[in-house]
Structures are given as structure tokens and as C-alpha cells.
Amino acid sequence: MHLNMKFFGMEQMPTFSAHDVMKNPAIESDFERFRDHLSPLFPARAQRTAS
């Protein structure tokens, strides 16, 4: 993490990546994995989207 961000009290968030998106796209499962990745970080948003 960049030292300027650390100075302001920011913390590094977990990384998400999707691979092989051109030759073997799995768009729906990638979006589902992305939502699952974000839901612990933004729980209120995940609850609104699920309903």
C-alpha cells in the first residue's frame, strides 16, 4: 500500500481478478464471484441487491 494512504489510516482491501476472459469467458460466474467478493466489504449494499 502506498505510504500516503497508510498515513490517512486507509487499509488495503482484498484483490479480485478474472482470468481468461477473452478465450473462455464465464461472465455470469465472474459477476457472481465478484458479488461474493464484495458482500463482506459492503454488507448493507449486498442485502439490498439480494432482495
Torsion sign over Cα 19, 32, 40, 45: positive
Q: How far is CA 18 from the centre of its chain?
A: 11
Pairwise CA distance, residues 23 & 19, whole Å: 10
CB 33 within 8 A of CB 21: no
Q: What is the amino acid identity at position 9?
A: G
Pairwise CA distance, residues 2 & 27, whole Å: 32
pLDDT digits (tens, 9 = 90+) for 25-41: 999 999 999 999 999 98
Query: Where residue 49 falls among pLDDT bands split at 50, 70, 90?
Result: low
Output 6 or 27, whichever has higher pLDDT.
27
Terminal-to-terminal C-alpha distance of the chain: 35
